[in-house]
Structure 1
């Protein structure tokens, strides 16, 4: 009976001690389940499209004959009657002199050039004209002349991507065709002008017809379709992707570059960045109507620097081990030596970071067993605008130990230099990662080819945002601002 009572007492005592131990245990802080956002921003990317003017030049070469016109006609008065004054009156002393005008006007090779918002077609003209049988006195006199005709072409793109053109042609004789006879200059510009007028109308009509054949829509539709894509900004550690979703196309005119008409187009697109595997490409939409608005290209991308908590654990551990070389001085206790074991880090609710640290502590000079246990530190990380320097606010410490001196461990975690130690370790990590990521991204997107596109990007500035603790990592947004252009080069 006594044995039963002793056994019962022992069991009750064991149960009581177990209950007491459970009361001293502290549950780890709850884990956050939210995820860092994928930043979204609108950028305007320069997408110049080249349209060849070779067909326009070829068509004009074909449409405009080398010999513009010929002339072979009898004129009754090549030289008007000569008069002199006799007793105050003009008296005809010579009759009008008839002649035969024979001539030919030819053109040289056409040349296309740009001048402001116009395409200028230069048409060199050369005239050779002879006056024969002038009153039976002059057997033949040859006159030469030169002119330069300019076909000025202005091209417009309609909202549905059709090309419309209007040509106007002007010319002037740089050397009017004519001959010197009987002390005067005889020119034949009237005859030449009469013959050139129908030629000018033919050239204008041909230019307008050929402009309508320039197919801008086909190239624009291909550029639009392929612009729904995802670009790699950083291959690994961490993988960073940018997804491009075009919204509209802006048109700001064109200029002539050699045989190419270079259209000033801008692609307004939503850019999203992801720290993960390659996201799906967005689904292309039909080519939208053209917006007449001069594009001002700007490249504006938010790149998340996301630190996985598992990657932060060894960073924190190394800092703590380094710190353990000298004692923590606690009020009313004195110097305490600490050894740090496993570190566990994760995101806690309310944008806080939770750090669990196994440690053992011993008052310096004491001969008893060290106090062992785990402490939990939760805090909200913050940084100054534009800085990667991290600090912690709203610090909370809790823990469980294997002895009555558990307050010793909590005292270390609550000591003045403990939280700044962790913050400094994370600051160094973020600053280094940020510098490395900037270099990687600059190299990755400086110039690259993606299918039919050659992409050039210029980064003018990096801006650091506000650090936040999420369930899937410690998140520091970085804004990249600069310029970007995409050249469409199919088949190269």
Structure 2
């Protein structure tokens, strides 16, 4: 008799002795209660826009600069030079030099601050009214003049978040001070220039101080403190949290848009993802001095996507029952009728799943008695990089099938068609869970007001990692990237 024939005879006598008795369950694979592995910390860059109204800068400069820039009250001996006649032997003065008195003042108009992009523009109109009196003892005239002081420059942040203005200041005489008297042009530009240069220099000194009074540092300090926070990503399945702890703050640039000066900062932060219990709030640290913030801007964190094994069990059971309806044939036994009763799925060692199946098997060949019992398979779930579709491979019996006393339930699970059905049933598409968790995370971190500061985030890119078999379920690590802003919005 061949070896196969011997095994069939042994199987026949074992089953015959068993009759319809219920078999003790075969030993189950060890249950592993492993937790989800800690997520690696991520380095993120959060944009912190700080804004100031140019109107405030205008008012400050206007307050610092007096309306009357300087007054004039002086005597000139030679307002009009005497005329000379050339007699061939020399020039002879025929009219004397005429003196005069200059009385008046130079005033300014409203200082305007504007700009575009990185350029800051400041303009200040200047006007002068000068009365020329006692020209030769009898004449009197009034002189008017107009100039426009203008500055273009850039801002910088130095030291302890103090703004500094680097400006290029100049002025143009639109109407130089002067007068026509007795056919001569009298000008006062040179002396006016000396005075106006002092005004320009004072404006250059005052501007950085007024920029400093915009109170940008107070906004920065508040935004920095509110950056230390814990955000709930999901309430359950599983509960997850993101903790943000800023570490550095750097200047990303500024621009003038309309009537606003917008300073863009970049906060480098440590973003950590926690699963389960809410982590403690990070302790705020004092606002550090400006530093270089390296790396690509954006918020980076993980989102845990978990499939409970209870989700898989009914799917496996339905698949096996469909297979039973089509008919199952076992080697050495022939066609059998199978009533699958319960499926149990949990994590076992070596990153595998244990799949327990209870069934009643009734051979159609009446020489073999019906058998009820439970047997176990193990399988390795896996996914491709950036794929939410989980498949199972390497499905195998957890029992020793080399024993001569082969149980009919074990034979059932050893059948290729049954193992293929189990592998197919363990296939799980995480896409619905994935989309749901992403939606919850986006809603949780999307927008929130904390005091006078508004935190807003938007997930822009998502990548999927490798599947992990944990005690809580099949775990798919999802790395999310997005943009985050902390803006000052007083309520």
SS in 1 for 2:42: strand
Deviations 1:379-428 (A, max 9, x none): 22111111122222332213699xx9965433443444545544544544
The answer for the alignment partner of 1:462 in structure 2 is 462
2:77 match: 76
Identify if the C-alpha distance between structure 1 residues 220 and 463 changes in structure 2 by more than 3 Å, giving closer, same or farther: same
The alignment status of 1:252 with 2:249, answered yes or no, reads: no
CA-based RMSD: 3.7
Query: Could you tell me the TM-score, scaled by structure 1's length?
Result: 0.81
Structure 1 residues 33-68: Cα deviation after superposition (integer angstroms, max 9, x where no partner): 321123232211112234566665444222211111
- Larger deviation: 412-421 or 479-488? 412-421
> 2:36 matched to which residue of 1?
36
Deviation at 1:275, TM superposition (A): 3.7
Alignment of 1:329-340 (within 5 A): 329-331=329-331, 333-340=333-340
Q: Which moved more, 1:196-205 or 1:245-254?
A: 196-205
Structure 2 equivalent of residue 179 of structure 1: 179
* Residue in 2 that maps onto 1:200: 200
Is structure 2 residue 262 aligned with structure 1 residue 262? yes
TM-score where L is the length of structure 2: 0.81
Question: Helix, strand or coil: the match of 1:292?
Answer: coil
Alpha-carbon shift at residue 466 of structure 1 (Å): 0.5
2:430 partner SS: helix
Q: Distance in 1 between matches of 2:145 and 2:117?
A: 33
Kept after mapping to 2: 8 A contact 1:301/1:481 = yes
Q: Structure 1 stretch 241-250 or stretch 198-207: which is displaced more?
A: 198-207
Deviation (angstroms), 1:305: 0.9
The answer for the alignment partner of 1:191 in structure 2 is 191
Tell me which residue corresponds to 2:47: 46
Task: Return 5+ residue gaps in structure 1 as ranges.
Answer: 1-16
Contact 1:167 / 1:208 at 8 angstroms: preserved in 2?
no
Deviation at 1:374, TM superposition (A): 1.3
Is 2:262 aligned against 1:272? no
Q: Which residue number in structure 1 is paired with residue 479 of structure 2? A: 479
Q: Mean alpha-carbon deviation: is it higher for 183-192 or for 224-233?
A: 183-192
Query: Relative to 1, partners in 2 of residues 1:182 and 1:37: Cα closer, same or farther, differing over 3 Å?
Result: farther
User: C-alpha separation between the residues in 1 aligned to 2:262 and 2:99?
Assistant: 56
Q: Which has the higher contact order (CA 8 A, sep 6+)?
A: 2
Residue 260 to residue 308, structure 1, CA distance change in 2 (3 Å) = same
Aligned equivalent of 2:145 = 144
Asked if 1 retains the 8 angstrom alpha-carbon contact of 2:223 and 2:486, the reply is no
Deviation at 1:348? 1.0
* Contact 1:252 1:295 survives alignment (8 Å): no
Which residue pairs with 1:108 in the alignment?
A: 109
- Give 3-state SS (helix, strand or coil) of 2:314's partner: helix
2:313 pairs with 1:313:
yes
Structure-2 change in CA distance of 1:126 and 1:77 (3 Å): same
SS in 2 for 1:350: coil
Deviation at 1:298, TM superposition (A): 1.5
Q: 1:29 to 1:173 in 2, by over 3 A?
A: same
Task: State the secondary structure of the residue aligned to 1:283.
Answer: coil
Distance 1:180 1:488, change over 3 A: same
Distance change (3 Å), C-alpha of 1:163 and 1:472: same
Shift of 1:87: 5.7
SS at match of 1:362: strand
| Matched residue SS, 1:438 | helix
CA contact (8 A) 1:163 1:215 kept: no
Go from structure 1 to structure 2 and tell me whether the alpha carbon gap of 1:365 and 1:51 turns closer, same or farther (over 3 Å shift).
Answer: farther
Where does structure 2 lack aligned partners over 5 or more consecutive residues?
1-16
Q: Is the 8 A contact 2:28 2:376 kept in 1?
A: yes
How far is 1:168 from its partner?
6.0
